Structure 1
Amino acid sequence: MAKTGSWPERGVVVAEGGGATAVWGECKGSGAKPYLAAVHLDGPQGPGYKCSCPSRKIPCKHVLALLSLWSQEAVDEREDRPEWVATWLSGRAARAERAATGTVAAPADPKKAAATLKAREDAVTAGIEELRVWLHDQVDTGLAEVPRLGYRHWDRMAKRLVDAKAPGAASLVTRLPQRGGDEHWPDRLLERLGMLHLLVDGYLAREGADERTLAVLRSRVGISTRTEEILGSGERVRDTWRVLGYRDALTPDGMRSRRTWLHGIDTDRPALSLTFARPDQTPDSPFRAGTEVEGELVFHPDGRRAVKAGSMTERPAARPAGGTVDQALDAHARALADDPWLEGWPVVVADAVPAQDGGWYVADAGGSALPLDTGSLWRFLAITGGRPTTVAAEWSPKTGLSLMTLWDDDGKAIAL
């Protein structure tokens, strides 16, 4: 990657008084178009990075390779620079000036935004069409050869989807299971191939979908919406939002993510706050478990993810009422009807106790139970001593019930 041959176009932007201001380059990728990478070395808000690759790693491998070449003096000063470099640098300068003066950014040009989205969808469509052919090939070939296939078999298709600007679909391909000693691997593989096929069919037939379904399909293939756009045009909902808890995880590309779940007391509406950080950092926590915040949330088009709009009033929250295991499963089923690729769903179970029957479970007062993700099992047992309590958790049939928060005998929230 850090080879001059991989960067046919590269250069250093020099300030009027001398000294490097930015370094940029165009890296050959596996696709027809190169990856565009740049580093703002002395920006007013500190160094900044840009790359057209879909990786969420900050900085990505292309940026690091470019910096490596620059440190080896393999990138020369150039007076000329591509338009994309000039546009990016001027945009950073404008944002820094707005931040210093407290001014608000002008709304995006609707026509330009629509044209940009159309170009992105055209690229994604080509990748999804190729994925459909590939899926048919997997079924036609059969599963007998799968145990002998290496990771390259799956990675080749994933990389093609990345080049087609469909990182969400690429992530689903990389999660296709290997055999790995699991006797149920054929069932798991067929299930995930089926979910991919559903995404392909749904996305290619998106013209007839309603706005919410279209937003879900775009999100699942990897077409994201910037926070600035959400704040400018998203659905605003004012309520008192109870913070149920959060879960930390690693993304397929090595980033750390934090999924914080909230519930509107008046609107009875769930909301997901999603933040990311580098592998060596902790994601931001805009909300604290066991509290409630009063104010506005702005929802993404999928109606699930949300960001806060302005300041919010925070105060301690009372213990939530909770429900039964059956009610939790009903809520999850309704959510799956809107988004079949859902990773998890927030549930609150009242009078929950740990139970063991060949594995660990969380049971309600009626005896219905859900399998427990044992990551927080010992804290659960130590805090409750096996006594009934109210728990907030994220439920997934694949991983089980992942506890986020429980309330002790005094009604105090304890984040797990």
Structure 2
Amino acid sequence: MAPETSSGSPQRWSVAQIHALAPDPASQKAGTKLAAPGPWSETGTSPGANLLWGDCKGSGSKPYQVTVELSAPAFACSCPSRKFPCKHALGLLLLWSAGTVADTPTLPARVEEWLGGRKDRAQKAEARKAAVAEKAAESANDPEAARKAALAAEKRTAQRAGRIDAGFDELELWLTDQVRGGLAGLRGSGYRPLDGLARRLVDAQAAGAAARVRDLAPALSAPDWPDHTLRGFAQLNLLAQGWRRRADLPGPLAATVRRRVGLAPSTEEIAAVGEQVSDRWLVLGLRDDTPDKLVERRVWLRGEDSGRIALLLAFAPQGQSPGLALPVGSSFEARLAFAPEAVPLRAIVLEQGELQPSPADGPAPGGGSLSQAATAYARAVAADPWTTTVPALIAAAVPVLEQVGDRREWRICDAENAQTVPLVRPSAGETAMALGTAAKDPDIPRCAYALLAAGGGRPVPVFGIYSLSGFSPVTLWGEEGPVSLP
């Protein structure tokens, strides 16, 4: 089977862009060790086909067969690793980046077979979509079938709303009991009561509210814990009231309430009613979190002409790829649809062009100041009171060590106006960031040193997450291009 081709050879990615694909720091380190010709054989890349392959000697008698499609990108390896991409795929990409993989006009049989399998799966997926669409069209032409389907959907919606109502009844009673009995009792009772209430809310299909109940645990151990706990109580009560009165709310705010409760819109719903924006999108940053035994991948984009920031989400079981393997610093033409919420940030890709890795010496993206990030945060909270963080691109920032009261702490300094905010480690998590506890994290010096090393000690563009407790850096642009921070 002849591969789909595009004109010209694929542009080689930088080391930083390849490292951005690693599922965790351990895979990044292991992939770097394999970025040498020694363990590799039968390597090759197809000009114009955006394909890369090779065999890597492992501990077994047979080498691991690795294949990478660069345009998606997509990965395959015969190793047993559950990480995706695995260290072998990362090592092969680094080998190719260094220019030590030769162009090969003929594809190996195994690569052709892999491409054929991908094509078959894509065709089957399209066939399933067509079958669903055909069934929907048949129902639309059959009034009785359409009426029954609508009644069944309405019944399911009403049943779920009833379960959520019952869950919020219990939540409101629990909040009243905690305030009446005093917060000290809750603090002394440990995590188990919170976990029990959260589980019951999950059973009531209000997973978003359950997550906020679990967030009360770190609030109880935060500095000024009574204030943080009461703030958490207030947001839970506000969410319950928003759910009760969702029919009276403006459409975008009602959609926000439903998502905060746990009723996230499907991609089909977003595609049907969301605002659509076509632009060339720059990949600003990528971060993987692991809540509830899942890998949640967040990819932030910025439109070249629109200036819009978009958040793409993907999920997978731990150890598997959640998709969205978009190298930081790359760009692509695409049409996105934004979820119609009070703060439209989440988006889905409707149409996407070829991924273009940015050259290492390409211009850094323009950004704003910390003051502008604070203003954006205030506006987001005014529109969506459950907001805890906003993405922000700072034009020129550098970490500094400042005296704050009786201690010294690392802070991010905006070179434009010398304003500083606390440095928050990316892996601290949004809950800790919102509570202000991440500033005490003992690993923050490591994050600061990584910033200093990657930026050469000079103010550089930095993309990250702004919150009440400070700024969490995700990507910076140094002399060699974008660098994803640990």
Fold shared per TM-score above 0.5: yes
Identify which of 309, 316, 326 aligns with 1:277.
316
Which residue identity does 1:360 align to in structure 2? Answer: W
Deviations 1:230-264 (A, max 9, x none): 3344332212222211222121x121211111122
Report whether the alignment pairs 1:363 with 2:413: yes
Match in the other structure for 1:353:
398
Deviations 1:62-81 (A, max 9, x none): xxxxxxxxxxxxxxxxxxxx
Task: Determine helix, strand or coil for the equivalent of 2:217.
Answer: coil
CA shift for structure 1 position 183: 4.8
Deviations 1:190-224 (A, max 9, x none): 12112111211222121111111011100011012
CA shift for structure 1 position 117: 3.3
Cα distance in 2, alignment partners of residues 281 and 363 from structure 1 = 37
Task: Determine helix, strand or coil for the equivalent of 1:340.
Answer: coil
CA shift for structure 1 position 159: 1.9
Task: Determine helix, strand or coil for the equivalent of 1:287.
Answer: coil
Cα distance in 2, alignment partners of residues 369 and 394 from structure 1 = 15
Cα distance in 2, alignment partners of residues 132 and 271 from structure 1 = 34
Match in the other structure for 1:415:
484
Task: Determine helix, strand or coil for the equivalent of 1:342.
Answer: coil
Match in the other structure for 1:381:
452
Match in the other structure for 2:130:
103
CA shift for structure 1 position 284: 1.8
Deviations 1:327-374 (A, max 9, x none): 111111111222222242110111211111121111112111121124
Q: Is the Cα contact below 8 Å between 1:98 and 1:105 reproduced in 2?
A: no
Q: Is the Cα contact below 8 Å between 1:243 and 1:261 reproduced in 2?
A: yes
Match in the other structure for 2:365:
320
Q: Is the Cα contact below 8 Å between 1:260 and 1:274 reproduced in 2?
A: yes
Cα distance in 1, alignment partners of residues 221 and 236 from structure 2 = 23
Q: Is the Cα contact below 8 Å between 1:259 and 1:273 reproduced in 2?
A: yes
Task: Determine helix, strand or coil for the equivalent of 2:328.
Answer: coil
Task: Determine helix, strand or coil for the equivalent of 2:130.
Answer: coil
Match in the other structure for 1:131:
171
Tell me: CA distance 1:180–1:203, structure 2 relative to 1, closer, same or farther (3 Å): closer
Cα distance in 2, alignment partners of residues 207 and 228 from structure 1 = 22
CA shift for structure 1 position 116: 3.7
CA shift for structure 1 position 299: 2.0
Alignment of 1:151-166 (within 5 A): 151-166=191-206
Tell me: CA distance 1:352–1:134, structure 2 relative to 1, closer, same or farther (3 Å): same
Match in the other structure for 1:9:
none
Match in the other structure for 2:183:
143
Identify which of 259, 262, 275 aligns with 2:298.
259
**RMSD over equivalenced CA pairs, Å:** 2.6
Which residue identity does 1:414 align to in structure 2? Answer: V
- Which structure has more helix as a fraction of its residues? 2
Alignment of 1:187-336 (within 5 A): 187-251=227-291, 253-302=292-341, 303-315=344-356, 316=358, 318-336=363-381
Cα distance in 2, alignment partners of residues 301 and 147 from structure 1 = 38
Q: Is the Cα contact below 8 Å between 1:147 and 1:178 reproduced in 2?
A: no
CA shift for structure 1 position 151: 2.1
Higher relative contact order (Cα pairs below 8 Å, separated by 6+ residues): 2
CA shift for structure 1 position 406: 0.9
Number of matched pairs: 319
Alignment of 1:32-111 (within 5 A): 99-100=126-127, 103=130, 105-106=132-133, 111=150
**TM-score normalised per structure 2:** 0.61
Q: Is the Cα contact below 8 Å between 2:456 and 2:478 reproduced in 1?
A: no
Bigger mean CA deviation after superposition, 215-224 or 194-203: 194-203
Q: Is the Cα contact below 8 Å between 2:314 and 2:322 reproduced in 1?
A: yes
CA shift for structure 1 position 176: 0.7
Which residue identity does 1:216 align to in structure 2? Answer: T
Segments of 4+ moved more than 4 angstroms: 95-98, 107-110, 112-115, 178-183
Match in the other structure for 2:383:
338
Q: Is the Cα contact below 8 Å between 2:388 and 2:468 reproduced in 1?
A: no
Tell me: CA distance 1:394–1:160, structure 2 relative to 1, closer, same or farther (3 Å): same
Task: Determine helix, strand or coil for the equivalent of 1:321.
Answer: coil
Residue identity over aligned pairs, in percent, reads 38
Report whether the alignment pairs 1:404 with 2:474: yes
Tell me: CA distance 1:142–1:113, structure 2 relative to 1, closer, same or farther (3 Å): same
Which residue identity does 1:145 align to in structure 2? Answer: G
Tell me: CA distance 1:338–1:391, structure 2 relative to 1, closer, same or farther (3 Å): same
Tell me: CA distance 1:245–1:96, structure 2 relative to 1, closer, same or farther (3 Å): same
CA shift for structure 1 position 415: 2.0
Deviations 1:132-182 (A, max 9, x none): 121111111111212320322112221221121101101111111268765
CA shift for structure 1 position 273: 0.6
Match in the other structure for 1:186:
226
Tell me: CA distance 1:97–1:191, structure 2 relative to 1, closer, same or farther (3 Å): same
Q: Is the Cα contact below 8 Å between 1:177 and 1:185 reproduced in 2?
A: no
Match in the other structure for 1:37:
none
CA shift for structure 1 position 97: 5.3
Deviations 1:289-323 (A, max 9, x none): 11222121122232321111133243337422111
Please list every run of 5 or more consecutive structure 2 residues that lacks an aligned counterpart in the other structure: 1-121, 138-145, 403-407, 427-446
Which residue identity does 1:364 align to in structure 2? Answer: D
Please list every run of 5 or more consecutive structure 1 residues that lacks an aligned counterpart in the other structure: 1-94
Which residue identity does 1:309 align to in structure 2? Answer: L
CA shift for structure 1 position 268: 2.8
Which residue identity does 2:349 align to in structure 1? Answer: K
CA shift for structure 1 position 267: 2.6
Cα distance in 1, alignment partners of residues 190 and 250 from structure 2 = 39
Cα distance in 2, alignment partners of residues 264 and 166 from structure 1 = 34
